[in-house]
Amino acid sequence: MLLGVALISAAVIIFIVQPVVKGLHASLEREDDELTDTEARKRVALLALRDVEYDFLAGKLDEEDYRAMKSELTAEALAALEADEAARAAVGVTTVESSATDDLESEIARIREHIRSGLVCSSCGYANDEGSRFCSSCGTALGDRAVG
């Protein structure tokens, strides 16, 4: 019995004191593949966008509500997207999209493309079809202006 007591105490003490004595360190840093705050926000915004899409397709929203919601959410998603890119640039990480199969990533790519081609309305944020010259939500001329 005494032997058991001694063994247990010794094992426990060695086990917990070892890191301090030997200088074993646990990491205290965020790992690379974890979502950053801006990344998380970006995803939330994009998912909200998709939700509205789904609600419309499932017949839960009518056209008018859908358009209003959609333009609002698109604007927010874009803002989140840019914030995320700015954050990445700040820490010097280039945009690496890990998996092409991820539906979200393709969604991001699509929206980014829209920004580049200037199809997102600068006044209301609505994402227009390619080839549009005027915003189909508010009528503003689209031109070359990208959302700033």
Partner 1 sequence: MTVLGEFALWISLPVALWGMFLGFAGGRTQRGDLVLSAERSIYAVFLLHVVASLGIVAAFLGDKFQYWYVASYSNRELELFYKITGLWAGQRGSLLFWALLLGFFASVAVFTNRNKNREFMPYVAGVLQTVLAFFVVVLLFAQVNPFERLDFIPANGQGLNPQLQNYWMTIHPPTLYLGFTAFTVPFAFAVSALLSGRLDARWIQLTRKWILTSWLFLSVGIVFGMRWAYEELGWGGYWFWDPVENASLLPWLTATAFLHSIQIQEKRGMLKVWNMSLVLMTFLLTIFATFLTRAGLIESVHTFAQNLQIAYIFLGFMGSVLALCAVLIVYRLPQLQSENQIESFVSRESAFLFNNLLFVGAAFAVMWGTLFPLITEGVTGQEISVGPPFFERVNFPIGLALLTLVGIGPVIAWRRATKKNLQRNFSTPVVAGLVVAAALWFAGARHGLALVTWSISAFVLTVIATEFWKGTKARARIEGEGFLLAFFHLVTRNRRRWGGYIVHVGFVIMVMGFAGAAYNVDTRHHMMPGDVVEVASPLGHTYALTYEGLSVSMGQGQRNLLWQVIATVSVVADGEPAGILNTEKRRYVTSEQDMTEVGIRSTAMEDLYLILSAVDDTRGALSADSSAQGIDLQVLIKPLVGWIWFGCVMLVIGTFVALWPSADRRRAAAETDADQAPDPRPTPIGSAG
**Rule CB under 8 A: is residue 60 a binding residue for partner 1?**
yes
**Rule CB under 8 A: is residue 50 a binding residue for partner 1?**
yes
CA distance 123 to 68: 13
The Cα-based distances of 85 to 2, 3, 18, 41, 81 in angstroms read 63, 61, 42, 12, 6
CB-count exposure of residue 131 (10 Å: 0-12, 13-18, 19+): exposed
Binding residues for partner 1 restricted to 77-96, rule: CB under 8 A: none
Q: Which of 98, 100, 133, 144 binds partner 1 (CB under 8 A)?
A: 98
CB under 8 A: which stretch of 80-88, 107-115, 140-148 binds partner 1?
107-115
Q: How many residues does the chain have?
A: 148
> Shortest gap between Cβ of 8 and partner 1 (angstroms)?
6
Q: Are the C-beta atoms of residues 111 and 127 closer than 8 Å to each other?
A: yes
For residue 107, give the amino acid letter: E
Q: Residue numbers of the site for partner 1 (CB under 8 A)?
A: 1, 4-5, 8-9, 12, 15-20, 23-31, 33-35, 37, 40-41, 43-44, 47-48, 50-51, 53-67, 69-70, 72, 74, 98-99, 102-104, 107, 110-111, 114, 119, 126-130, 132, 136
